[in-house]
């Protein structure tokens, strides 16, 4: 993608920090993510002049810059839930193209499993104006919103919980091929196991829900021109798009008409590609329902046909095992990018998608509140 200043931008480094149950602090995990991604790029901390992160104190990029000993020329901590890392790619690409920064690190880490900080009301903000009209009814946040979207989805298309369960089954299958995945050594999952798992917020059970783990990662962006001189094959940022729609549970007129459609349309237009051009997709799977909603809005599946696309395995989706079976450190969007980069470099071993040249990454934040799509490709 060509920015205002005319420069194309690429991802040149990608890495995870330790994942799972680490016993480490968030700062240690952030340090691992940043230094490993830089090492992957053949770069060092001293090269970094742009930094984007969140989940690290009240002034996230500022505080991480202090911890890492950096003095960046560009920093960014927009908060929009788990979609935000895909938004950071857009903003970083613009900063590099505009000459405001040359080497941007986008990172995230959380030790939420070690710290036991996750709750079923996590993220509900009592200070919001809509809270007066929501809190008295005790929704699980964000899960009950996704559950209502799921019931509406199943109702509209005449599908059943078993159709959603296919998403969890596929995620486990991919995780068993990824040595870093939480469920790498677990047995295959069956639809019946998902259906008989303890219900949390119907129709979603514990096995329709993402993991609660420590983890995180980082990616490094620079100009495509400079990327060609670095050790790893550059992964070009071909296009991006985003959309923000609501925070209140009663605001969206239609639960199934999410911002993903706008985000995807904008990203495809910028990249000059269509859904049929995508070789591998990484879409945020906070819950099983997230995946068909995103696939259909993005044009990768017909309305109501998302579960069938997952079941068919025609398109490789969430090849890491996703938030359902690989890692979910509170905000998963950074790890979607890491996996997409690795697939396009051919680094994925047993789970490698043969000949993958284009990857779509779709982040979703809040309660389907914010959506951001990034399309990546091998350097032509």
- Interface with other proteins, residue 198, by CB under 8 A: yes
CB of 244 to other proteins, least distance (A): 14
Tell me which of 148, 263, 359, 361 binds other proteins, using CB under 8 A.
Answer: 148
Active-site annotation holder among 141, 146, 240, 284: 284
For the chain, the farthest-separated pair of C-alpha atoms sits apart, in whole angstroms, at 58
Catalytic site includes residue 240:
no
Tell me which of 73, 199, 230, 261 binds other proteins, using CB under 8 A.
Answer: 199
Catalytic site includes residue 108:
no
Nearer to other proteins, 293 or 372 (CB): 293
Size of the residue set binding other proteins (CB under 8 A): 39
- Interface with other proteins, residue 26, by CB under 8 A: no
DSSP assignment, residue 198? Answer: P
CB of 203 to other proteins, least distance (A): 8
- Interface with other proteins, residue 124, by CB under 8 A: yes
Question: Distance between CA atoms of 14 and 346, rounded to whole angstroms?
Answer: 13
DSSP string over 149-188: HHHHHHHHHT--HHHHHHHHHHHHHHHTT-TTSTTTTSPP
Nearer to other proteins, 151 or 265 (CB): 151
Strand order in the sheet with 235-244: 74-76, 50-52, 104-110, 215-223, 9-16, 235-244, 370-378, 358-365, 280-283
Interaction with other proteins in 239-268: which residues (CB under 8 A)?
Answer: 248-253, 255
Tell me which residue of 70, 36, 24, 26 sits closest to 51, measured CA to CA: 70
What's the token pair of residue 290?
A: 């997230």
Tell me which of 155, 228, 313, 314 binds other proteins, using CB under 8 A.
Answer: 155
Q: Is 277 exposed, middle or buried (0-12, 13-18, 19+ CB in 10 A)?
A: middle
Nearer to other proteins, 123 or 231 (CB): 123
Tell me which residue of 290, 48, 262, 285 sits closest to 149, measured CA to CA: 290
Question: Distance between CA atoms of 378 and 148, rounded to whole angstroms?
Answer: 39
Nearer to other proteins, 204 or 356 (CB): 204
Question: Distance between CA atoms of 77 and 216, rounded to whole angstroms?
Answer: 16
Interaction with other proteins in 204-223: which residues (CB under 8 A)?
Answer: 204
Nearer to other proteins, 241 or 252 (CB): 252
Which residues contribute to the site for other proteins (CB under 8 A)? 119-121, 124, 129-141, 144, 147-152, 155, 198-204, 248-253, 255
Q: Cite the active site residues.
A: 284, 326
């Amino acid at each position: 993608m060509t920015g205002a200043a005319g420069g194309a931008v690429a991802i040149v480094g990608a890495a995870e920090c330790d994942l799972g149950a680490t016993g480490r602090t968030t700062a240690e995990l952030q340090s691992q993510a940043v230094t490993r991604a830089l090492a992957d790029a053949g770069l060092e901390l001293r090269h970094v002049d742009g930094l984007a992160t969140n989940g690290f104190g009240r002034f996230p990029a500022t505080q991480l810059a202090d911890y890492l000993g950096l003095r960046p020329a560009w920093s960014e901590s927009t908060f929009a839930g788990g979609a935000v890392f895909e938004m950071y790619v857009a903003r970083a690409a613009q900063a590099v193209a505009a000459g405001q920064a040359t080497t941007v690190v986008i990172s995230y880490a959380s030790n939420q499993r070690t710290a036991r900080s996750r709750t079923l009301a996590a993220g509900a903000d009592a200070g919001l104006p809509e809270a007066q009209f929501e809190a008295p009814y005790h929704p699980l946040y964000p899960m009950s919103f996704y559950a209502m979207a799921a019931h509406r989805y199943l109702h509209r298309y005449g599908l059943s919980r078993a159709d959603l369960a296919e998403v969890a089954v596929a995620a486990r299958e991919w995780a068993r091929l990824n040595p870093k995945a939480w469920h790498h050594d677990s047995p295959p999952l069956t639809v019946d196991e998902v259906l008989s798992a303890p219900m949390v917020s119907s129709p979603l059970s514990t096995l329709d829900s993402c993991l609660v783990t420590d983890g995180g990662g980082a990616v490094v962006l620079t100009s495509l021109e400079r990327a060609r001189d670095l050790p790893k094959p550059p992964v070009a940022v071909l296009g991006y798009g985003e959309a923000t729609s609501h925070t209140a549970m009663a605001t969206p007129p239609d639960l199934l008409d999410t911002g993903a459609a706008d985000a995807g349309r904008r990203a495809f237009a910028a990249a000059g590609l269509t859904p049929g051009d995508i070789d591998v997709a990484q879409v945020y799977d906070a819950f099983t329902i997230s995946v068909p909603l995103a696939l259909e809005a993005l044009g990768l599946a017909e309305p109501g046909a998302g579960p069938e696309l997952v079941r068919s395995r025609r398109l490789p989706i969430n090849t890491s095992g996703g938030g359902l079976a690989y890692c979910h450190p509170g905000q998963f969007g950074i790890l979607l990018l890491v996996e997409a980069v690795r697939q396009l470099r051919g680094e994925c071993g047993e789970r490698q998608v043969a000949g993958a040249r284009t990857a779509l990454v779709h982040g979703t934040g809040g309660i389907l509140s914010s959506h951001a799509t990034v399309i990546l490709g091998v350097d032509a």
